[in-house]
């Protein structure tokens, strides 16, 4: 991940509703959640939610898959992994063993 992509992801997450949606999709795991359900769970109108989902999708943090008449959203684990890797890339001057505690215990496997 480069700086521009990292900034895009961080900007997408810097809004209250989008952060809630992202965390919701991370909890949901590979099953994901239908767009209408996301809007209902967050108490946001569907057209507003659609705009939030688009921002998260363009940032590479979520992905959509059409299922019949609905769209199901899932967290994009590789995008999350890329962002986290970018953020800790130069941790402790490149001596990654010193900051192992930052990433130990974090599992992004769904």
Record the pTM.
Answer: 0.85
Range of the domain at 9: 3-103
Domain count, the chain: 1
- For residue 12, tell me if it sits in a domain: yes
Percent of the chain with pLDDT over 90: 71
Dump pLDDT digits (tens) for 88-105: 877 777 676 776 666 565
Given this model, what pLDDT does residue 110 score?
A: 43
- For residue 38, tell me if it sits in a domain: yes
* Mean pLDDT to the nearest integer, 35-59: 96
- For residue 43, tell me if it sits in a domain: yes
Q: What string of DSSP letters covers 51-93? A: HHHHHHHHTTSEEEEEETTEEEEEE-HHHHHHHHHHHHTTGGG
- For residue 28, tell me if it sits in a domain: yes
Give me the phi and psi of 11, to 5 degrees please: -65, -40
- For residue 21, tell me if it sits in a domain: yes
- For residue 57, tell me if it sits in a domain: yes
- 14: CATH: 1.10.10.10
């Amino acid at each position: 991940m480069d700086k521009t992509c990292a900034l895009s992801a961080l900007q997408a997450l810097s809004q209250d509703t989008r952060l809630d949606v992202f965390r919701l999709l991370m909890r949901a795991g590979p099953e994901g959640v239908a767009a209408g359900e996301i809007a209902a769970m967050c108490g946001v109108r569907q057209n507003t939610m659609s705009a939030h989902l688009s921002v998260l999708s363009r940032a590479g943090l979520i992905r959509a898959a059409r299922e019949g008449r609905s769209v199901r959203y899932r967290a994009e684990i590789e995008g999350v992994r890329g962002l986290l890797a970018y953020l800790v890339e130069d941790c402790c001057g490149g001596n990654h063993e010193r900051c192992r505690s930052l990433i130990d215990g974090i599992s992004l496997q769904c």
